[in-house]
Amino acid sequence: MNDKLREILQAPVTGKGDLIPLLQKAQEAEGYVSEEAIYAIAEKLRIPASEVFGVLSFYAQFRLRPMGKHNVKICRGTACHVRGSPLIVTAVESELQLGNGEDTTPDGLFTVEKIACFGACSLAPVMVVGGRTYGNLSPDKARRLIRKTAEEDHV
Amino acid sequence: MYSDYASLRAWAESEIARTRPADRTRILVGLGTCGIAAGGLDVLAALREKLADMPVSAEIVPVGCIGMCFEEPLVDIVRPGEPRICYAKVTPKSIPTILEEHLLHNNVRKDLAFAVIGDEPYDGVPAWKQLPFFATQRRTVLRNCGFIDPESVAEYIVHDGYAALAKALFEMTPESVIEEVKRSGLRGRGGAGFPTGMKWAFCRQSPGEHKYVICNADEGDPGAFMNRSVLEGDPHSVLEGLIIAAYAIGADHGYIYCRAEYPLAIVRLRKALEQARALGLLGERIFGTDFSFDVTIKEGAGAFVCGEETALMASIEGKRGMPRPRPPFPAQKGLWGQPTNINNVETLNNIPPIILNGADWFAAVGTEKSKGTKTFALTGKVVNSSLIEVPFGMTLREVIFGVGGGIANGRQFKAAQTGGPSGGCLSSEHLDWPIDYETLTKAGSIMGSGGLVVMDDSTCMVDVARFFLNFTQSESCGKCIPCRLGTKRMLEILERIVAGQGKMEDIDLLLELGETVKLGSLCGLGQTAPNPVLSTIRYFRDEYEAHIKEHRCPAKVCKALITYRISEEKCTGCTLCARNCPVNAISGERKKVHVIDPAVCTRCDTCRQVCNFDAVLVD
The CATH number of whichever domain residue B295 belongs to comes to: 3.40.50.11540
Does B558 reside within a domain?
no
pLDDT bracket for residue B34 (50, 70, 90): confident
CA-wise closest residue to B480 among B307, B323, B303, B302: B323
Does B180 reside within a domain?
no
pLDDT bracket for residue B525 (50, 70, 90): very high
Query: How far are the Cα atoms of A73, B218, B555, B573 from residue B615, in angstroms, in the given order?
Result: 32, 46, 18, 10
Does B568 reside within a domain?
yes
Q: How far is B529 from chain A (nearest CA, A)?
A: 15
Q: Which of B328, B357, B386 is the last residue of a domain?
A: B357
Are the C-beta atoms of residues A66 and A33 closer than 8 Å to each other? Answer: no
Of the CA atoms within 13 Å of residue B282, those in its CB half-sphere come to: 23
Question: Alpha-carbon distance B376 to A79, whole Å?
Answer: 13
The answer on B314 and B255 residing in a single domain is yes
Searching chain B, which residue's CA lies closest to the CA of residue A141?
Answer: B606
pLDDT at residue B266 in the model: 95
Question: Alpha-carbon distance B277 to B259, whole Å?
Answer: 23
pLDDT at residue B23 in the model: 86
Q: What is the largest CA-CA distance in chain A?
A: 52
A31 touches chain B (CB under 8 A): no
Q: Residue B261 and residue A116: Cβ atoms within 8 Å?
A: yes
Are the C-beta atoms of residues B142 and B353 closer than 8 Å to each other? Answer: no
Q: Which residues in B36-160 belong to E strands, given as ranges? A: 58-63, 75-78, 84-87, 113-116
The DSSP letter of residue A68 is: P
pLDDT at residue B267 in the model: 95
Q: Report DSSP letters for B17-34, one per residue.
A: HHHS-TTSEEEEEE-SHH
**Strand B75-78 to A132-134 pairing:** unpaired
Which residues 115-154 of chain A have a CB within 8 Å of chain B? 115-124, 126, 133, 135, 138-140, 143
Question: Alpha-carbon distance B137 to B149, whole Å?
Answer: 22
pLDDT at residue A119 in the model: 78
The answer on B383 and B322 residing in a single domain is no
Query: How far are the Cα atoms of B1, B42, B348, B362, B463 from residue B285, in angstroms, in the given order?
Result: 10, 44, 22, 30, 55
Are the C-beta atoms of residues B372 and B392 closer than 8 Å to each other? Answer: yes
pLDDT bracket for residue B191 (50, 70, 90): confident
Q: Residues B269-282: pLDDT tens digits?
A: 999 999 999 999 99
Please report residues of B whose CB lies closer than 8 A to that of A19.
318
Searching chain A, which residue's CA lies closest to the CA of residue B476?
Answer: A58
Are the C-beta atoms of residues B506 and B497 closer than 8 Å to each other? Answer: yes
Does B164 reside within a domain?
no
CB-nearest to A119 from B33, B464, B602 is: B33
The answer on B278 and B206 residing in a single domain is yes
Q: Residues B413-433: pLDDT tens digits?
A: 999 999 989 899 999 999 999
The answer on B472 and B424 residing in a single domain is no
The answer on B424 and B465 residing in a single domain is no
A78 touches chain B (CB under 8 A): yes
Does B556 reside within a domain?
no
Does B382 reside within a domain?
yes
How many helices and strands (H and E) does chain A possess? 7, 4
pLDDT bracket for residue B221 (50, 70, 90): confident
CA-wise closest residue to B436 among B187, B142, B228: B187
Question: Alpha-carbon distance B558 to B307, whole Å?
Answer: 31
Q: How far is A106 from chain B (nearest CA, A)?
A: 21
**Is the pLDDT score of B314 beyond 90?**
yes
- With vertex at residue B193, the alpha carbon angle to CA B189 and CA B198, rounded to the nearest 5 degrees, is 105
CB-nearest to A140 from B228, B468, B609 is: B609
Interface test with B, best of A18, A47, A81, A143 (most B CBs within 10 A): A81
Question: Alpha-carbon distance B496 to B499, whole Å?
Answer: 5
Give percent above pLDDT 70 in chain A: 99
Q: Residue B319 and residue A82: Cβ atoms within 8 Å?
A: no
CB-nearest to B70 from A76, A90, A122 is: A122
The answer on B545 and B516 residing in a single domain is yes
Q: Residue B222 and residue A117: Cβ atoms within 8 Å?
A: yes
Q: Is the ipTM value over 0.90, yes or no? A: yes
**Mean local confidence (pLDDT), B114-122:** 93
CB-nearest to A115 from B261, B299, B381 is: B261
**Is the pLDDT score of B130 beyond 90?**
yes
Query: Strand B253-258's sheet: what is its strand order?
Result: B294-299, B253-258, B212-217, B340-344
Burial B175-197 (b: 16+ CB within 10 A, else e): eebbbbbbbbbbbbbbbbbebbb
Does B287 reside within a domain?
yes
Quick check: helix, strand or coil at residue B379?
strand
Helices of type H across B153-234: 153-158, 163-171, 174-184, 196-205, 226-233
Q: Residue B385 and residue A138: Cβ atoms within 8 Å?
A: no
pLDDT at residue A121 in the model: 86
The answer on B313 and B243 residing in a single domain is yes
Give the CATH number for residue B427: 3.10.20.600
Q: Residues B56-109: pLDDT tens digits?
A: 889 999 888 889 989 999 999 999 989 999 999 999 999 999 999 999 999 998
Searching chain A, which residue's CA lies closest to the CA of residue B37?
Answer: A133
**Is the pLDDT score of A155 beyond 80?**
no
pLDDT bracket for residue A154 (50, 70, 90): confident
**Strand B113-116 to B84-87 pairing:** antiparallel
Interface test with B, best of A19, A92, A113, A117 (most B CBs within 10 A): A117
Q: Residue B606 and residue A59: Cβ atoms within 8 Å?
A: no
Q: Which of B412, B432, B456 is the last residue of a domain?
A: B456
**Is the pLDDT score of B551 beyond 90?**
yes
The answer on B52 and B121 residing in a single domain is yes
**Mean local confidence (pLDDT), B265-293:** 97
The answer on B125 and B9 residing in a single domain is yes
pLDDT at residue B65 in the model: 83
Q: Residue A60 and residue B302: Cβ atoms within 8 Å?
A: yes
Quick check: helix, strand or coil at residue B149?
coil
The answer on B349 and B254 residing in a single domain is yes
CB-nearest to B320 from A58, A78, A117 is: A58
Give the CATH number for residue B592: 3.30.70.20
Question: Alpha-carbon distance A113 to A61, whole Å?
Answer: 11
Does B555 reside within a domain?
no
- Give the number of domains in chain B: 5
Q: Residues B141-178: pLDDT tens digits?
A: 999 999 999 999 999 999 999 999 999 999 999 999 99
Searching chain B, which residue's CA lies closest to the CA of residue A94?
Answer: B582
Q: How far is B363 from chain A (nearest CA, A)?
A: 30
Taking the CA atoms of residue B365, residue B233, residue B144 and residue B56 in that order, the dihedral angle to the nearest 10 degrees is: -150
Give the CATH number for residue B478: 1.20.1440.230
Q: Which of B456, B472, B491 is the last residue of a domain?
A: B456
Please report residues of A whose CB lies closer than 8 A to that of B605.
84, 87, 139
**Mean local confidence (pLDDT), A49-78:** 94
**Is the pLDDT score of A115 beyond 90?**
no
Q: How far is B26 from chain A (nearest CA, A)?
A: 27
Please report residues of B whose CB lies closer than 8 A to that of A87.
604-605
Query: Strand A132-134's sheet: what is its strand order?
Result: A110-115, A70-75, A127-129, A132-134
Query: How far are the Cα atoms of A82, A92, A127, A142, B559 from residue B610, in angstroms, in the given order?
Result: 19, 17, 19, 13, 19
Q: How far is B478 from chain A (nearest CA, A)?
A: 10
The answer on B498 and B411 residing in a single domain is no
Distance of CA B463 to the CA centre of its chain: 23
A23 touches chain B (CB under 8 A): yes
The answer on B12 and B46 residing in a single domain is yes
User: What is the residue range of B442's domain?
Assistant: 373-456
Q: How far is B317 from chain A (nearest CA, A)?
A: 4
Give the CATH number for residue B71: 3.40.30.10
**Mean local confidence (pLDDT), B332-344:** 97
**Mean local confidence (pLDDT), B568-585:** 92
Distance of CA B93 to the CA centre of its chain: 30
Q: Residue A78 and residue B610: Cβ atoms within 8 Å?
A: no
Please report residues of B whose CB lies closer than 8 A to that of A18.
318
Q: Which residues in B10-149 belong to E strands, given as ranges? A: 25-30, 58-63, 75-78, 84-87, 113-116
Are the C-beta atoms of residues B347 and B238 closer than 8 Å to each other? Answer: no
Searching chain B, which residue's CA lies closest to the CA of residue A55?
Answer: B320
**Mean local confidence (pLDDT), A11-26:** 93
Give the containing element (helix H, strand E) for B414.
Answer: strand B413-418
pLDDT bracket for residue B565 (50, 70, 90): very high
A·B CB contacts under 8 A: 148
Question: Alpha-carbon distance B444 to B430, whole Å?
Answer: 11
**Mean local confidence (pLDDT), B41-53:** 95
> Hey, what amino acid is at A31?
G
Helix pair angle (B345-357, B163-171), 10° resolution? 60
**Average pLDDT score, chain B:** 95
Q: Residue A124 and residue B379: Cβ atoms within 8 Å?
A: yes
Question: Alpha-carbon distance A108 to B212, whole Å?
Answer: 45
pLDDT at residue B33 in the model: 82
Q: Residue A124 and residue B464: Cβ atoms within 8 Å?
A: no
Please report residues of A whose CB lies closer than 8 A to that of B223.
77-79, 117, 121
